[in-house]
Amino acid sequence: MTVGDGTRAVRAGLPEPAKYEPTLPGPVFSAHFHLPGEASGPYTYGRDDNPTWTHLERAIGELEAPGESVETLTFASGMAAISAVLFSQLTAGDTVVLPADGYQVLPMVRAQLEAYGIEVRTAPTGGDAQLSVLDGARLLWLETPSNPGLDVCDVRRLADAAHAAGALVAVDNTLATPLGQRPLELGADFSVASDTKGMTGHGDILLGHVTCRDAELAAGVRRWRKIVGAIPGPMEAWLAHRSLATLQLRADRQCANALALAQALGGRGEVSGLRYPGLAADPSHPTAARQMRRFGCVVSFVLPGRAHAERFLGALRLVDEATSFGGVRSTAERRGRWGGDAVPEGFIRFSAGAEDTTDLVADVLRALEEAVA
């Protein structure tokens, strides 16, 4: 039976109904499980597996690849999931291609990969520059839309080229969530994400996941999780599963709010560098419209200088000044305060929440007026 995203989200990962059992079983807190005789079975020791993870992993798998048989592994954070793929798949002498404009921790990851004897090449997300650096690579890492610049790359085109060159392909799907795009359907070998962001959407847990089709690739990632032990707590995993039920509701409202904000910001003289892949005039839009079903909740733009941006952030009433994105409460920050991202001083990353659209747009327009010196 084919169903819509909302129907899939509310039922994702639920076990078969069992009389007098809850619809979504509660978190299982256990470091070890009864294990008479042979040391095998689905649940032995709590670092290897947990029934609460199993339900969540099935749910995420159903969203990442509806109707397909895939394997999903949940992790303690997005970085745990990212590191699991990179460090399980690459060894000394291998080459990996990373985005030059991706998540701000990637330069630290790069230094660690290089310390282990892995060659790292970088290419910007937009403009197909990855094509010229694939020769001899073992893994192509994509982040689309990129955080915070919101460039988009053509996953299918790059995955085809990478596979032809003998490289595996991983996509950081954090910003889009599986309701925005499904990297495995676009040809990627791994869909990886920080579920700290839009996937769980309440700004109260850190979590990550890796989904792939190939059992051997999944086994490598699983082995890495066991070695490093970057596992989620049962409570976090259960909260994440509970949150997935509202993913479609949240995503639809937040994406609509992001689009309305982007349209309102487009009419302001002091705003430059406005980016939102869902805006018809955005340079990313043609590619985004081909591979994405929702364009995400993040809008980025530049105000004239640091002081102007700080005045704007300080004047917002419905928007928290905070990092991260994807939550039901709008957040915004001046990205330059962290160093690391190559962005202007007045660059704002704005994450649209689930507030009423008219309230949110009005708050932003009022804060922009107050920020004019």
Ligand X SMILES: *Cc1c(COP(=O)(O)O)cnc(C)c1O
CB under 6 A: which stretch of 9-17, 160-168, 192-200, 356-364 binds ligand X? 192-200
| 151 versus 172: smaller Cβ distance to ligand X | 172
Task: Decide: is 351 part of the binding site for ligand X (CB under 6 A).
Answer: no
Which residues 207-236 are close enough to bind ligand X by CB under 6 A?
208
- What is the Cα–Cα distance from 308 to 336, expressed in whole angstroms? 13
CB under 6 A: which stretch of 111-119, 127-135, 172-180, 264-272 binds ligand X? 172-180
Question: Least CB distance from residue 30 to ligand X, whole Å?
Answer: 25
SS3 190: strand
Residue with the shortest CB distance to ligand X: 78
Question: Least CB distance from residue 273 to ligand X, whole Å?
Answer: 19
CB under 6 A: which stretch of 39-47, 193-201, 248-256, 260-268 binds ligand X? 193-201
- What is the Cα–Cα distance from 265 to 274, expressed in whole angstroms? 8
Tell which one of 8, 138, 182, 197 touches ligand X (CB under 6 A). Answer: 197
3-state helix, strand, coil in the chain (%, to 5): 35, 15, 45
SS3 265: helix
Task: Decide: is 143 part of the binding site for ligand X (CB under 6 A).
Answer: yes
Question: Least CB distance from residue 136 to ligand X, whole Å?
Answer: 26
Task: Decide: is 178 part of the binding site for ligand X (CB under 6 A).
Answer: no
Task: Decide: is 141 part of the binding site for ligand X (CB under 6 A).
Answer: no
Tell which one of 50, 52, 74, 77 touches ligand X (CB under 6 A). Answer: 77
With beta carbons less than 8 A apart as the criterion, state whether 170 and 55 touch: no
Question: Least CB distance from residue 297 to ligand X, whole Å?
Answer: 12
Question: Least CB distance from residue 181 to ligand X, whole Å?
Answer: 13
Task: Decide: is 174 part of the binding site for ligand X (CB under 6 A).
Answer: yes
With beta carbons less than 8 A apart as the criterion, state whether 329 and 201 touch: no
Task: Decide: is 147 part of the binding site for ligand X (CB under 6 A).
Answer: yes
Task: Decide: is 181 part of the binding site for ligand X (CB under 6 A).
Answer: no
Residue count, binding to ligand X (CB under 6 A): 15
Tell me how far CA of residue 347 lies from CA of 13, 147, 300, in angstroms: 39, 12, 7
Helices (H), the chain: 5-11, 51-64, 78-89, 106-115, 155-164, 215-228, 234-244, 247-266, 285-291, 306-315, 357-371
With beta carbons less than 8 A apart as the criterion, state whether 212 and 49 touch: no
| 180 versus 264: smaller Cβ distance to ligand X | 180
DSSP output for 54-79? HHHHHHHHHHHSTTS--EEEEESSHH
Q: What type of residue is 360? A: L
**Residues at the site binding ligand X, with contacts judged by CB under 6 A:** 77-79, 82, 103, 143, 147, 172, 174-175, 194, 196-197, 206, 208
